[in-house]
């Protein structure tokens, strides 16, 4: 559905997104057990093309649920902004869709089950390492600030941004300019001042070289 559908049903964006995400979790769990058990039993027998086709159709149906969950998360974030949990949930679905595609390829090629297992493990590890390397807080701050400055009726949760790590501050300094500062209300300005004070205190407390790091996302 779209934002109009969500509003017409009298439900919140949050409940709509969570419902889609947990539906995906249940579908992945049940289909994963079924596909895994059948795959290990039939993968070595190339003539069972009917079984392979049924497995591929099942995975494709779960992938459709995944795409639906992404759409719901997108509506949620568009309406209320980005947070760490919402962004991680979105990226998790992308990783699972990559695993689904790999599963379809392995089943269609009649590869051994261990190939799919190793591929899923590699995709998961790559996804984890990628998220660990990028500057997630800065990405969240940039997106929330951009949607607020774009106008319309978008709100900016400065309280949430103020409690992100110091890596998010480069995206917030734009509000130190007078023309942008005037767009903030009193609570938002207070949160901005609190963020500045916390960052200054954090810099003073970093007495040891082990506490410093370099952010890879600028």
pLDDT score of 15 more than 50: yes
Contact 174, 145 (CB under 8 A): yes
- To the question of pTM greater than 0.85 for the whole model, the response is no
pLDDT at 47: 57
Q: What percent of the chain has pLDDT over 70?
A: 87
Would you place residue 218 in the very low, low, confident or very high pLDDT band (cuts 50, 70, 90)? Answer: very low
Tens digits of per-residue pLDDT, 159-201? 888 888 878 888 887 877 777 777 787 888 888 888 877 777 7
pLDDT score of 214 more than 70: no
Would you place residue 217 in the very low, low, confident or very high pLDDT band (cuts 50, 70, 90)? Answer: very low
User: Residue 142 has which token pair?
Assistant: 């940039």
Mean pLDDT for 48-77 is 88
Average pLDDT of the residues of the chain: 82
Tens digits of per-residue pLDDT, 70-98? 988 888 888 888 999 999 999 999 999 99
């Amino acid at each position: 559905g779209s934002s109009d559908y969500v509003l017409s049903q009298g439900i919140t964006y949050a409940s709509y997104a969570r419902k889609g995400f947990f539906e995906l979790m249940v579908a992945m769990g049940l289909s994963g057990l079924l596909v895994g058990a059948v795959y290990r039993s039939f993968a070595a027998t190339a003539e069972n093309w009917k079984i392979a086709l049924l497995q591929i159709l099942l995975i494709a149906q779960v992938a459709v649920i995944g795409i639906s969950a992404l759409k719901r998360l997108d509506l949620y974030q568009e309406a209320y902004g980005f947070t760490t949990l919402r962004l991680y949930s979105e990226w998790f679905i992308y990783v699972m869709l990559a695993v689904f595609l790999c599963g379809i390829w392995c089943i269609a090629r009649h590869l051994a089950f261990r190939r799919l297992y190793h591929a899923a493990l590699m995709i998961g590890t790559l996804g984890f390492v990628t998220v660990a390397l990028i500057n997630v807080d800065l990405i969240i701050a940039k997106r929330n600030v951009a949607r607020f400055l774009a106008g319309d009726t978008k709100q900016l949760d400065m309280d949430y941004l103020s409690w992100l790590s110091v890596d998010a501050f480069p995206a917030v300094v734009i509000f130190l300019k007078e023309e942008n500062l005037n767009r903030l209300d009193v609570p938002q300005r207070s949160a901005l001042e609190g963020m500045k004070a916390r960052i200054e205190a954090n810099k003073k407390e970093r007495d040891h070289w082990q506490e410093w790091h370099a952010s890879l996302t600028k």
